[in-house]
Amino acid sequence: MKSSIEEAIDIATETLIKPFEGYALKLSDGSCGAYPDPGTGGAPWTIGFGSTGPDIVRGTIWSRQQAEESLNSHVLYFTSGVLQLSPNLVNTLPRRLAAIISFAYNCGLRNYRISTLRKRINEGNWEGAANEIVKWNKANGRVLKGLTRRREAEAALLV
């Protein structure tokens, strides 16, 4: 039997992160190539299921296995970070933790740490959290349809 945290990780990965990040720039052999950030048209360069980092630049190619391993590693990293910033998420519904893992995976722990979203989560104000998370639908000051859909899906899991 899975723990509630393991269940949350599965929900975040399979229901939110993989579908919204996609396995982008898939090459004919099943590997994937780096692509520019949709919001900026450049940095940060992204690969696989939304992985970024200093070693990911134009021309980087990963195997499907590398992309899956990076996804799993990053999900664990963001889960740990979210639980440190909002310890009350340990005792909530797995779907709520999943939504915040997905948010942090996409927006980063720093943004989560400084957000009113986190404040609402830590207050246990789930409706307020749902109202806050949908505000994070912009990249480079522009509303993106994909981010709007993702934030709406995360918000639905919070209430």
Distance CA 157, CA 90 (A): 15
Contacts of 149 (CB under 8 A, 6+ apart): 20
- The per-residue pLDDT for range 61-77, each reduced to its tens digit, is 999 999 999 999 999 99
Using CA atoms in the order 47, 7, 111, 143, what is the torsion angle rounded to 10 degrees?
Answer: 70
Catalytic residue, candidates 7, 21, 127, 154 = 21
Our measurement of the distance from residue 38's CA atom to the centroid of its chain's CA atoms, rounded to an integer in Å, reads 15
Q: Which residue, among 62, 67, 56, has the nearest Cα to 18 in the 3D structure?
A: 67
Instruction: Determine whether 154 is an active site residue.
Output: no
- The per-residue pLDDT for range 13-26, each reduced to its tens digit, is 999 999 999 998 89
- How does pLDDT run along the chain (159 residues), one tens digit per residue? 889 999 999 999 999 999 999 998 899 999 999 999 877 888 889 999 999 999 999 999 999 999 999 999 999 999 999 999 999 999 999 999 999 999 999 999 999 999 999 999 999 999 999 999 999 999 888 999 999 999 999 999 999
**And the tokens for 129?**
């959290």
Other Cβ atoms within 10 Å of 136 Cβ, number:
19
Intra-chain end-to-end CA distance of the chain, in Å:
25
pTM of the model: 0.94
Q: Hey, what domains does the chain have and what are their CATH numbers?
A: 4-20+64-158 (1.10.530.40)
